[in-house]
Amino acid sequence: MAISDDTAVVCPKVPMEPRTSPLGRSFYPMDDDAPPQVNLSADLAGISMAINVLNGLLANSEAFRDRQACGVPEQEGEWPLPPMCVEGVFAAVHYLSRYGESLSYRLGE
């Protein structure tokens, strides 16, 4: 039978290292002092931004394929995603959208 040990030392909250984005910018997705609704709104904004970026990648890839099919020279910045990546990005958009929708219900509470 397990014995409960209520004498464990409680560690104070350890401050997190500042996070940075891949571009080296500070990235703080949550504020511990903010009300939960504010952090939830920030989560929804981040999910929306991620969905928009992923949709942009899909559109860019599709534009490249359309131009290529018509024999039009490619424009700088356009490149195709491999089919498996297209499927994966599409799945990511789908599940991020569902997760964002479920969070938005909590925002209305």
Side-chain-side CA neighbours of residue 83 (13 Å) = 0
pLDDT tens, 9-67?
555 555 556 677 777 777 666 677 778 888 888 889 999 999 999 999 999 888 888 88
24 phi-psi bin (left φ>0, alpha ψ -120 to 50, beta other): left
Q: What is the number of structural domains in the chain?
A: 1
Predicted TM-score (pTM) of the model is: 0.69
**Domain of 82, in residue numbers:** 37-107
| 23 domain-assigned | no
| 20 domain-assigned | no
- Measured between alpha carbons, how far is 85 from 82 in angstroms, rounded to an integer? 5
| 14 domain-assigned | no
Q: Tokens 């039009």 map to which residue?
A: 72
| 28 domain-assigned | no
| Residues 79/63, Cβ–Cβ less than 8 Å | no
